[in-house]
Structure 1
Amino acid sequence: MGADIVLWMIALLIILILMGVHITVALGVTSALGVYLMMGSFDVAMSIIGTTAYEAIRKDVFAVIPLFVLMGDLVGRSGAARDLYRICDRLLRRIPGRLAVATVAGNAVFAAVTGVSIAAAATFSRIAYPEMRKLGYRQTFALGAVAGSACLGMLIPPSVLMIVWAILTEMSVGALFMAGIVPGVLLAVMFALYCVVAVKLDPSIAPPATDNNLADMSAAERRSEAIGGLGIGALVMLVIGGIWGGLFTPTEAAGFGVLGALVIGLVKGMRWSQIIDAIYNAGRTTAPIMILLVTATMYSRLLALGGAVNAIKAMLLGTGLGPIALMMMMGGIWLVLGMLIDSVSIILLTVPIFAPLAIQLGYDPLAFAIFGILIIEAGLLTPPFGLLVYTVKASVPDRAVSLAMIFRGSMPYWILIVVAAAMVLFVPGLANWLPQMMR
């Protein structure tokens, strides 16, 4: 009976989301109603839901999300991201399509301090796209480089998606962070190689760049650029190196990361008002995520009480489909959901069901997590409603840009993300090699 109630609640949840009800409200309503129908008592249901919410939010790992978001916001507002981009551009000056490659490289490093693809897309839409267009880069090629490489923000740690995935599955945040490094670097290399090959095949899409020379900059500008670029590098080493070396827990690393980002911002000349704005913005970004996590924990408790996970697993396994076919089914669901709702919501809705099934099918939990995050990020580029594409459209300082241009430009990156996901699924060592070395 419990499993039947949960299945009805999942159906109601889907209906509410399709009707436009906010996912937080939909999760809360269906969880409360489902627990009430199973318990038969309103007071008991409210007690279970209240205890679940309290136990969920009191975990110290929840502090990681606002801290890493604040760290990325401070770095972005300080101008260090622009410094990083220009340094990458200068270092890659002999490479065809160097500004596109610099965008990929800049996003890869920026991903290690922001953890949010949307933030990366908004930042580099304002920094990289105007530079590429000024030098004659084709619009679709420039837009694709910005939108596609922004996906690295959710794969290269610290990543908000990894933190949420770890909380839901009770995995180690640090291990999941380490699992994302090799696939993240591999995907960044694949993106960069695509840019080079595309320019080699059609040089007209990216004319050779001739500017951004140190000689054209004043001593103060060179000093400021060095502080920003090297500061981000030091921040990455502090956060990722501290976790890797066992010096910090992820929560502690996030705290030190905020302090480091604040120092960079102050040295770069950030004003007190800008720092306060960054704190407010981090709160506005993370508050909805925290509420989502509370309602998602209630949803997970509903699934556990009703035994729905086992029922759904039995139903899917009873279809007679092999493990690969079931993985493709999960991937297809993630791609469709990626067109409609944000990445965190997708994880909250599906991972409590998909993760146990994948483990039962014999897949490595770390490799499956990276596979899932890659596919979910690909969904953000999937037509016609890819949310990352809309972010780029809203952020680029060029009103002539259309959604069709961004979708066309980002399609090669979409293909590469799916290829990388398949590689992780079939070669799990790409994800679990680094975590195993840390043990």
Structure 2
Amino acid sequence: MMGVEAVLMMIGLLVALVLLGLHIAVVLALTSMLGILLMMGNMEIAVSMLSRTAYEAIRSHVFIVIPLFILMGDLVSRSGAAGDLYRVCNRALGRLPGRLAVATVAGNAIFAAVTGVSVASAAAFSRIAYPEMRKLGYNKEFAVGAVAGSACLGMLIPPSVLLIIWAVLTEMSVGALFIAGVIPGLLLAALFAGWCVVAAIINPSIAPRAETIDMGKSDRSEIIGAVGILALVALVIGGIWGGLFNPTEAAGFGAIGGLILAYAKGMRAKGIMDAIYNAGRTTAPIMFLLIAAMMYSRLLAMGGAVNYIQDLFLATGGSVIVIIGLMALIWLLLGMIIDSTSIILLTVPIFAPIAMTLGIDPLAFAIFGILVIEAGLLTPPFGLIVYTVKGAITDRDLKLGHIFKGAIPYWVMILGAAIAVIAFPQLANWLPTLGR
């Protein structure tokens, strides 16, 4: 069978099986095997090629970055440092309108830089920030929107698991992608915080001034937690930025730093082992996904599907803006039914080469893609962040509709930031010396 025909058939089968609810990793591996078998006509050759692809993929030193950063985030999260950070941010903001919501955004922005996973931030701040805001009379939708919306920062502010996966699939520099995400991430955090303040000023009923009550001074444990997180951010991001170590080494130092912080916060052998086991449980499915995705990429390359799909996009006669808009629309539609990692694995091997052909800066396109895919975390009916927040909050009166409605302004701001990055690539490629 012709290569392109086999690949297109497998892509159709892949989409159908995903919509039927099969696990994305199993589907990627299965369709890759079938596609190469159809093209080669020999099972032994197909198995040999895919096994070699898997072996080469897992040998990459980039893969070790994921479990180490996840372990760092898990240690920090379980230590209680996220709560310390939130309370310190809250006190530092004084009498700012919507103070607790702004503290949630600030805490999530900093916490994101040690977890790299939005779901972790959503779960942590749902238990920490939402009850405090409700206790002081915050509007339910405004409070939960701040939690869900700002949790998305975890996918953009480095170290981000999605950025690492993007780097693996496109063979880009992990360090360059990390640094590329800094300014867009800070810009987005500033937009979120600004919205919280403006909304509280326009409608004081959603964020009562009762929050100006004295919360006392931070104790020693709180200061250790908050300063420890800031030190970890400086160690990891500052070390990569300053050229002291590469992302793999930064992940190792970050994990050690997380362990020291967890111990300083009172975590001992049992808690540390639980964090290690949980990091392993989180990492294993991601690794399997990446191996399957590398097989999928091999299928696309062998069958010439990327060039075929690229020709289809270019044959539409649309401008660069139209083609990029079409990609964004596909990402948003996929975000309604599958998770962010799966979206990247399915689309980036096809979209990234097309973007390069169109002359789009690869760093800017990567950050644009992550932002649009982030918006999918808040898009109904899937909205992974929304379901995470709902599961973490014990308020029985809180409905999914409240969370989706509260998150709408953040969804709009995320897409606005994505447009800004693609229109002004300098926001992402401001430090070209790291390489691509």
User: TM-score by structure 2 length?
Assistant: 0.98
Question: Could you say which residue in structure 1 is the equivalent of 2:376?
Answer: 379
Tell me the CA shift for residue 65 of structure 1: 0.5
Q: Specify the SS of the correspondent of 2:398.
A: coil
Question: Could you say which residue in structure 2 is the equivalent of 1:187?
Answer: 188
1:188-203 correspondence runs (5 A): 188-203=189-204
In the alignment, the residues of structure 1 paired with residue 148 and residue 18 of structure 2 have an alpha-carbon distance, to the nearest angstrom, of 26
In the alignment, the residues of structure 2 paired with residue 234 and residue 36 of structure 1 have an alpha-carbon distance, to the nearest angstrom, of 51
Tell me the CA shift for residue 149 of structure 1: 0.2
Tell me the CA shift for residue 320 of structure 1: 1.1
2:264 equivalent to 1:267:
yes
Q: Is the 8 A contact 2:100 2:129 kept in 1?
A: yes
Question: Could you say which residue in structure 1 is the equivalent of 2:13?
Answer: 12
Question: Could you say which residue in structure 2 is the equivalent of 1:118?
Answer: 119
Q: Is the 8 A contact 1:178 1:435 kept in 2?
A: no
Q: Specify the SS of the correspondent of 2:64.
A: helix
- After superposition, the C-alpha distances for 1:203-249 in whole angstroms (9 at most, x for unaligned) are 0000121345335x6xxxx0000100000011100000000011111
2:67 equivalent to 1:70:
no
In the alignment, the residues of structure 1 paired with residue 141 and residue 426 of structure 2 have an alpha-carbon distance, to the nearest angstrom, of 35
2:172 equivalent to 1:175:
no
In the alignment, the residues of structure 2 paired with residue 21 and residue 263 of structure 1 have an alpha-carbon distance, to the nearest angstrom, of 40
In the alignment, the residues of structure 2 paired with residue 80 and residue 438 of structure 1 have an alpha-carbon distance, to the nearest angstrom, of 34
**Pairs aligned (count):** 434
One of 209, 213, 216 as aligned partner of 1:214: 216
Q: Specify the SS of the correspondent of 1:108.
A: helix
Question: Could you say which residue in structure 1 is the equivalent of 2:132?
Answer: 131
In the alignment, the residues of structure 2 paired with residue 346 and residue 284 of structure 1 have an alpha-carbon distance, to the nearest angstrom, of 21
Tell me the CA shift for residue 30 of structure 1: 0.3
Question: Could you say which residue in structure 2 is the equivalent of 1:249?
Answer: 246
Q: Is the 8 A contact 2:372 2:418 kept in 1?
A: yes
| Sequence identity (%) | 67
Tell me the CA shift for residue 93 of structure 1: 1.7
Give the letter aligned to residue 216 of structure 2: L
One of 356, 360, 370 as aligned partner of 2:357: 360
- After superposition, the C-alpha distances for 1:285-332 in whole angstroms (9 at most, x for unaligned) are 111010000000000000000011001101111111211111111111
Tell me the CA shift for residue 339 of structure 1: 1.7
Question: Could you say which residue in structure 1 is the equivalent of 2:232?
Answer: 235
Give the letter aligned to residue 350 of structure 2: I
Give the letter aligned to residue 38 of structure 1: M
Tell me the CA shift for residue 19 of structure 1: 1.1
1:253-402 correspondence runs (5 A): 253-402=250-399
Q: Is the 8 A contact 2:175 2:434 kept in 1?
A: no
- Per the alignment, do residues 106 and 435 of structure 1 end up closer, same or farther by CA in structure 2, a change over 3 Å counting? farther
- Per the alignment, do residues 437 and 200 of structure 1 end up closer, same or farther by CA in structure 2, a change over 3 Å counting? farther
Q: Specify the SS of the correspondent of 1:256.
A: helix
In the alignment, the residues of structure 2 paired with residue 424 and residue 232 of structure 1 have an alpha-carbon distance, to the nearest angstrom, of 28
Q: Specify the SS of the correspondent of 1:184.
A: helix
In the alignment, the residues of structure 2 paired with residue 376 and residue 435 of structure 1 have an alpha-carbon distance, to the nearest angstrom, of 24
In the alignment, the residues of structure 1 paired with residue 310 and residue 215 of structure 2 have an alpha-carbon distance, to the nearest angstrom, of 59
Q: Is the 8 A contact 2:144 2:406 kept in 1?
A: yes
2:58 equivalent to 1:61:
no
Q: Is the 8 A contact 2:142 2:406 kept in 1?
A: yes
In the alignment, the residues of structure 2 paired with residue 400 and residue 33 of structure 1 have an alpha-carbon distance, to the nearest angstrom, of 48
- Per the alignment, do residues 229 and 338 of structure 1 end up closer, same or farther by CA in structure 2, a change over 3 Å counting? same
Tell me the CA shift for residue 261 of structure 1: 0.7
Give the letter aligned to residue 311 of structure 1: Y
- Per the alignment, do residues 152 and 212 of structure 1 end up closer, same or farther by CA in structure 2, a change over 3 Å counting? farther
Where in structure 1 do 4 or more consecutive aligned residues deviate above 2 Å?
A: 210-215, 434-439
Question: Could you say which residue in structure 2 is the equivalent of 1:83?
Answer: 84
Give the letter aligned to residue 191 of structure 2: M
Tell me the CA shift for residue 397 of structure 1: 2.3
Q: Specify the SS of the correspondent of 1:331.
A: helix
In the alignment, the residues of structure 2 paired with residue 212 and residue 344 of structure 1 have an alpha-carbon distance, to the nearest angstrom, of 43
Give the letter aligned to residue 213 of structure 1: M
Q: CA RMSD in A?
A: 1.2
- After superposition, the C-alpha distances for 1:359-405 in whole angstroms (9 at most, x for unaligned) are 11111000000000000000110122211101100011212110000
Tell me the CA shift for residue 63 of structure 1: 0.5
In the alignment, the residues of structure 1 paired with residue 74 and residue 99 of structure 2 have an alpha-carbon distance, to the nearest angstrom, of 26
Tell me the CA shift for residue 434 of structure 1: 2.8
Tell me the CA shift for residue 438 of structure 1: 8.1
Give the letter aligned to residue 299 of structure 1: Y
Tell me the CA shift for residue 273 of structure 1: 1.1
Q: Is the 8 A contact 2:338 2:382 kept in 1?
A: no
Q: Specify the SS of the correspondent of 2:131.
A: helix
In the alignment, the residues of structure 1 paired with residue 137 and residue 144 of structure 2 have an alpha-carbon distance, to the nearest angstrom, of 13
Tell me the CA shift for residue 436 of structure 1: 4.4
